Structure 1
Amino acid sequence: MADGPAPAHPGDTSAARVRRALSRARRRVRRAGVDYFRGDASDWIAFAALATLVPLVAVLTLLLPLWFPPTAMVLPVLAGALLLRPSSLVLLYAASAAALAVESALRGPYADGPGRVTPGTVLVVGAIGAAGLLLAQFRARVGVPWRGGQSMLFDLRERLKVQSRMPALPGGWHAEMALRPAGGQSFSGDFVVASRTGPAKRTLEVVLADVSGKGMDAGSRALLLSGAFGGLLGSLPPHEFLPAANGYLLRQGWQEGFASAVHLVLDLDTGEYELLSAGHLPGMQRCEGTGRWEVKEAEGPLLGIFDTSEGAKFEGVRGQLDHGDVLMLCTDGMVEAPGRDLTEGMDRLMGEADRLMGLSFAGSAWRLIETVARDLNDDRALLLVWRE
């Protein structure tokens, strides 16, 4: 409903009318801000500013050709590609072409010097304009806001980071998670969801998942799955989580819809834990008493491949974390490499972890990625849980 003038009321004071006017103004500004973010707001202000800049650049080119060559027309053209809708951008391009034509006519067909409009100038400005128009059309087609659309990708990346945070643990318990996407990208197909569940929140449940694909290709699916897994975690008994996650993936119908996952259920009072796996790498536990590593391998099918109602089951493996013990979970990017099998990669990872053992184990997750899998072109994720 549009804001109209407030009806007069008997006894109204000028102060009351001012307050109502300010309230209406705030509502209009708030709606304008929402439209601005969504991309629904008009772009006439940006168009007017750039349309004014075009003749200004043309005048400066005629007056100061050494400082403002004709190719300076790419400035409003490039700014328009970033700020305007395609329809407004075409009008701006028409104004820029007219300005170049006027510059050429005023300089004369046989003019020479830095202010001359050459065919190369037209080609440079035209090429940048064509690229900008393609960018604007793509942005309009996918529905990205015409201003600040890049912030959407930043927001998605930050949501993945927030969902991967480990909850605070009681005294004596520590957990670290480190993740590095493939190729230095911002998005990864590996992710972690974790929550304190059970009576008095004395159970730690962590799911480490690896979505098929890597980097940007898997980032969108990882974001969707991390939200779904986070909603399931703690809402279902531990043994029902992986079957429910498997059903969720099957319902998506993705062509590359499979994922591996390992589900850790840890009792923070006793140190007893259970690992349930969906086609994931085994867990690795270092026992303080013996100083040796033990491989904890659970069995289960990949998520999104088989319907568990047809007989596929997720069989867990149990263990105990005593004081000084460390449990390590990782994705295959940490141990896979051309010409090397998984067993060899896991042995190397456990050996490097042994070298980091000392008075403080904090920060070891990042150091292990840097040492073992720094140059591998795959998403890498590592989770460490240890007890003082």
Structure 2
Amino acid sequence: MTCGYARAVERARAGSARVPLTRASAALRRWSQRSQVTLTAVLLLVAGLLTVGIAADPDWVPPATFLLLEVVAVFLLRLRPLAVLGGTVLVCAWGLWWWGAESITPGFLAVLTLSVVAIGVFARERQRLGLRGAPGDRMLVDLRDRLAAHGRVPPLPAGWRVDSEIRSAHAEGFSGDFMVAGTRAGGTTLEIVLVDVSGKGMGAGVRSLQLSGAFGGLLGALPREEFLGAANGYLLAQAWAEGFATAIHVVVDLRTGDFTVSSAGHPPAMQLHAGSGRMELLDTVGAPALGVVADLRCAALTGRLDQGDVLLLYTDGLIEARGGDLEQGIDRLMGAADRVLAPGRGSAAAVLAGVRAGDDDDRAVVLIQRA
């Protein structure tokens, strides 16, 4: 391993490890840690007052307030205090029923018991992920914002534009598709990597966050031809159970329009030639996905973006469909892109809408346009 490569890997690891929380979320976490005993005591007191209220005047204090108390507690308490409160609520409810409170019915007791169990399972899963109480929700927002920040494109020279649209499956908060962008050589060279991580939902989103930080550290730190190999080595080192990803890497000289594109298991890029109006498929398929084999060899294609040309990158969520093959999906995407981009005013969101792909998979479109 060369010294330059070693420094790049260390930079990638540092990038993937740095996920800073905002001051507000950090303060909220400290407050929550110090106040768990106080919060638990207050909520237990409320449970006792609700018990008295239900016994004295169920018209004003209905038994359903127990459920409201549990919902509030799941956002404030960790697993163990939440279990204590849930057990207390069940004891109070069953005690009221044994005492003869007419407002407490067997059906309500069954629903309340199942609700407490379900809340406990939910809280246990959140704690396993390190999401405890209210600060956990804030941390998820910070992670999502961090992932979006890695895909921000630096300012480009006049005449160049990058437009991207990334949507998660079923409109979830996290996507397995992400983009990393950067410039080098004093802002005269643009690099973009579009990645599709295996899986979907929060699990894929967490892996995307780590990989986006790592790939952001590698981008610009290595020669173009070494990037995908280094990314593959990093992914293999993680030893994830579901640990592969496809990626496409584009380097554009913003002075001349010359570009190089290479991919690892990713669908081929497309180029719209403004002069002829022709859509060209840049077939870089051949290399396996990242995280599959140790010796990854990716062939690169070169081309040029002339004025009005558009380079289109995308993930397989746009071209995969049940009952159809990838070639049909690619043809459908090429047709939609030709309709949207030919007038010279199209956007990534318009291309995605034109394909009309289902929302059961993550989808991403990136357009590199030269005016």
TM-score range, shorter chain: 0.7 to 0.9
Which position in structure 2 is the counterpart of 1:323?
307
The equivalent of 2:328 in structure 1 is: 344
Retained in 2: the 8 A contact 1:35–1:41? no
- Structure 1 position 320, deviation (Å): 0.7
Residue matched to 2:207: 221
Tell me if structure 2 keeps the 8 A contact 1:37–1:147: no
Partner of 1:269: 255
CA distance in 1, matches of 2:218, 2:349: 28
Query: CA-to-partner distance for each residue in 1:247-287, whole Å, 9 max, x for gaps?
Result: 11221222332222111110000111111121222221111
Structure 2 unaligned spans of 5+: 1-22
State the shift of 1:378 in Å.
Answer: 1.8
- Partner in structure 2 of residue 250 of structure 1: 236
* Alpha-carbon displacement from aligned partner over 1:124-149 (angstroms, at most 9, x marks no partner): 33332333333344444443223332
Partner of 1:273, secondary structure, is: strand
Residue 57 of structure 2 aligns with an amino acid whose one-letter code is: L
User: Aligned residue for 1:47?
Assistant: 40
How far 1:347 sits from its partner (Å)?
2.4
- What residue identity is the alignment partner of 2:167? R
Residue 74, structure 1, aligned to residue 67, structure 2:
yes
Q: Secondary structure at the match of 1:235?
A: coil
- Aligned match of 1:7: none
- Mapped partners of 2:172, 2:223: distance in 1: 35
Change in 2 beyond 3 A, CA 1:71/1:328: closer
Deviation digits for residues 2-42 of structure 1 (CA, Å, limit 9, x no counterpart): xxxxxxxxxxxxxxxxxxxxxxxxxxxx9x96473485323
The number of equivalent residue pairs is 348
Q: Among residues 265, 270, 287, which one is paired with 2:273 in the alignment?
A: 287
**Matched ranges for 1:187-226 at <5 A:** 187-198=174-185, 200-226=186-212
Please, what is the CA RMSD of the aligned residues? 2.7
Give, as a single letter, the amino acid of the residue that structure 1 aligns with 2:157: P
Q: CA deviation at 1:55?
A: 3.2
Structure with higher RCO (Cα < 8 A, 6+ apart): 2
The residue that corresponds to 1:21 in the other structure is: none
Offset of 1:321 from its aligned partner? 0.6
Residue 131 of structure 2 corresponds to residue 131 of structure 1: no
Q: Which moved more, 1:122-131 or 1:184-193?
A: 122-131
Deviation, 1:361, is 2.0
List structure 1 runs of 4+ shifted beyond 6 angstroms. Answer: none
Partner secondary structure for residue 286 of structure 1: strand
Normalised TM-score (structure 1)? 0.80
Deviates more, 1:234-243 or 1:75-84: 75-84
| CA-CA distance at 1:289 after TM superposition | 1.6
Offset, 1:60: 2.8
Worse-matched range after superposition: 86-95 or 205-214: 86-95
**Once the two structures are aligned, what percentage of the paired residues are identical?**
43
Please say if 1:181 is aligned against 2:168. yes
Q: Which runs of 5+ in 1 are unaligned?
A: 1-29
Identify which of 156, 171, 174 aligns with 1:169: 156
1:119 equivalent in structure 2: 106
* Structure number with bigger Rg: 1
The answer to whether the Cα contact below 8 Å between 2:28 and 2:135 also exists between their aligned partners in 1 is no
